[in-house]
Amino acid sequence: MKEYVLNVKGMVCGGCENRVQNAVKTINGVKEVVASHVDSTVKIVAKDDSVIEQAKEKIQDLDFEVV
């Protein structure tokens, strides 16, 4: 397992964190997701790099910006 950190703009509350976490958790191969609106980050523990592009798409579909 590897840990990845994405910088995400637009999360402003715990509800935003939950929406992001719930969306990313649905990706096959993701073990853990921790979103933080305070740090503007999403930490993902996953089996390999293949999930990162999927995670970016899911986050952007929620109208947040991955930078």
CATH number, residue 34: 3.30.70.100
Domain total in the chain: 1
In 3D space, the residue among 2, 43, 40, 3 whose CA is nearest the CA of residue 24 turns out to be: 43
pLDDT, position 65:
98
In 3D space, the residue among 46, 49, 36 whose CA is nearest the CA of residue 9 turns out to be: 36
Please state, for a pLDDT cut of 90, what percent of the chain lies above it.
99
pLDDT, position 51:
94
**Mean pLDDT over the full length of the chain:** 97
Tokens of 39: 């740090």
Spatial separation of the C-alpha atoms in residues 25 and 55, rounded to whole Å: 9
pTM, full prediction: 0.94
**What confidence category does residue 1 fall into, taking pLDDT thresholds of 50, 70 and 90?**
very high
Domain extent, residue 40, equals 2-66
pLDDT tens by residue, 10-65: 999 999 999 999 999 999 999 999 999 999 999 999 998 999 999 999 999 999 99
